[in-house]
A and B are shown apart, each in its own frame.
Chain A
Amino acid sequence: MVEPGLDVTDSGVPVPLISFRGVKKAFGPKIIFDDATLDVYPGETLTILGGSGTGKSVLIKMLIGLLKTDGGSIQAFGQEVTTLSEAGLIEIRKRIAMLFQSGALFDSLSVADNIKYPLREHGWGLESAMNDRVAEVLDMVGMTGSEKLKPAELSGGMRKRVGLARAIAMKPEVILYDEPTTGLDPVNVRRINGLILSLQARLGVTSIVVTHDMDSCFTVSDRIAMLYERRMAFVGSAEATQDCEIPYVREFTRGGKGTLDTDVT
């Protein structure tokens, strides 16, 4: 799992790029995280699994400061994120991009202007340089020539691919995928899985994928983390999930056809 060449501490332990330590979060009376702890290492693709409403998306939104934590620590690139001002968070967001569940494209802007949005915001340069970058990232997601289309003219899968193009436009070091395959047909699911793998290979980015799609999970992940009962109940390789002592984790990651082996909650 840990590639050779990673930064290591004096005691030989690899240094995580991102770490969550004892993170707490509640929405009103509903506690989402009690004590969530997780490390993400450079260059890996980590998948966060969990049932609906367990707060998978909340975790990655807290990482880039879209939601505030109620306690605990989140570090990225050696910096504490939870205490950063909005200006400090903007610097983090340049390095950590996010693909939203619905793509979250701006309806009033064309595909090209959607992708140029972060470029303009961060002073990428001349219009021609931005146009070149737009063409380049659209090519990476297999949407060459779609610059002039409006989001309303795109299918669900295409919206996600344009959303991905927009996310990688600023050359981020980390990409967060929020349910990248939810609501897509099997062909598009495989296309998105392929993109996650190819971006990983071409750009060498670190990826955190939030999903409950097991096919996608097993295809793209180096490691899996499973949210259960308000904390990370399991962190490890795909194969190790079946050896986990928690029945819910084994059942969740079992995949395939059939019914529940045991009545898990």
Chain B
Amino acid sequence: MNGFRGLLADAGGIAILSGRAFVAFWRSPVEWAPVLHQIDHAGIRSWSITALTAVFTGMVLALQFATGLESYGGSMYTGKLVALGIVRELGPTLTALLVGGRVGSGFAAELGSMVVNEQVDAIRALGADPVKKLVAPRVLACIIALPLLTMLADIVGLFGGLLITMREVGVTRKFFFSQVTETLGFVDLAHGLGKSLFFGYFIGVIGCFVGLRTTGGTEGVGQSTTRAVVNISITVLVSNYLLSTIFVALYG
């Protein structure tokens, strides 16, 4: 019961922090420079792990489908399934899990250290708002960066799928791409990228929320880092199912 109450309290705290960050960001002066800095820091620098994960995911997906469908004589459909699997599910979700681990933990550690070193208090004492200075740019940067990284994951993942489908099934590149373009519609892209917007928001706000609540010195910073990764991962996986249900119900 306590656990459930704690969960509700955290959800409430995250909702309040999100609202405050939104209001604080648009309060004059609107500061874009820290957002760009965070997009570079958190987003652009995550491209390599995103691409690496995506290429191998596309490859393994193609391998499993090609061999799995062979006994039913359906291996020619490998391209279609890989395309749907990557764009709707694995592209956005795996990217969010990886970036959540890399960036969300970074936010929690950085903000947690600032809390224990009294830097967050110092921001307030100097007449500024830590939510505007620290939280708003990070959350916004994640919301912008995650769909971009997901697009990269989609493209690279499909490329990985192409390589293995060509080798295992023996299709041509042209055939694979025609299957991909036939299968994927705007709805599929919107489904994946729409989810990634939410994932970006969760990564940014949970990382900051956990960081700002750090207590207990350097040990507390370590605990916050771990907690951020766990909470972000669970939120991404659970919300992925809920968001997918909504998208499927709305658009098929």
Contacts and interface: CB of A to CB of B under 8 A. Distances in A.
Q: Do A and B bind each other?
A: yes
Interface of A: 61, 64-66, 86, 90, 93-94, 97-98, 100-102, 104-107, 117-118, 121-122, 166, 170
B126 A101 contact: no
B127 A102 contact: no
B40 to A, nearest CB: 14
A148 B127 CA distance: 23
A122 B129 CA distance: 12
Contacts, number: 44
Contact of B118 (A86, A93, A102, A122): A102
Contacts of B125: 64, 66, 93, 97-98, 100
Q: Which 3 A-B residue pairs are closest in the complex by CB-CB distance?
A: A104-B122, A118-B126, A104-B118
Given A101-B118, A104-B121, 18 more contacts: A66-B121, A66-B124, A66-B125, A93-B126, A93-B127, A97-B125, A100-B118, A100-B121, A100-B122, A102-B117, A104-B118, A105-B122, A106-B119, A107-B119, A118-B127, A118-B128, A121-B126, A166-B126
Contacts of A97: 125
A100 B118 CA distance: 7
27 contacts: A64-B125, A90-B127, A93-B124, A93-B125, A93-B126, A97-B125, A98-B122, A100-B121, A100-B122, A101-B118, A102-B117, A102-B118, A104-B117, A104-B118, A104-B119, A105-B119, A105-B122, A106-B119, A106-B122, A107-B119, A117-B126, A118-B126, A118-B127, A121-B126, A121-B127, A122-B127, A170-B127
Contacts of A104: 117-119, 121-122
Contacts of A107: 119
A65 B127 CA distance: 11
Nearest to B120: A104
Interface string B6-40: 00000000000000000000000000000000000
A17 B125 CA distance: 19
A97 B125 CA distance: 7
A119 to B, nearest CB: 9
A75 B124 CA distance: 19
Nearest to B126: A118
A160 to B, nearest CB: 12
Contacts of A61: 121
A94 B117 CA distance: 22
Interface of B: 117-119, 121-122, 124-129
Contacts of A102: 117-118
Contacts of B126: 93, 117-118, 121, 166
B38 to A, nearest CB: 12
Nearest to B125: A98
Among B121, B122, B126, B129, residue most surrounded by chain A Cβ atoms (within 10 Å): B126
A94 B127 contact: yes
Contacts of B124: 65-66, 93
A98 B126 CA distance: 8
Nearest to A97: B125
Contacts of A65: 124
A64 B121 CA distance: 10
Contacts of A94: 127
A119 B215 CA distance: 30
A102 B116 CA distance: 10
Contacts of A100: 118, 121-122, 125
Contacts of B121: 61, 66, 100, 104
B118 to A, nearest CB: 4
Contacts of A122: 127
B220 to A, nearest CB: 15
A101 B217 CA distance: 14
A52 to B, nearest CB: 15
Contacts of A170: 127
Contacts of B129: 86
A90 B129 CA distance: 9
B5 to A, nearest CB: 16
Contacts of A101: 118
Contacts of A106: 119, 122
Contacts of B119: 104-107
A81 B128 CA distance: 17
A65 B117 CA distance: 18
Contacts of A118: 126-128
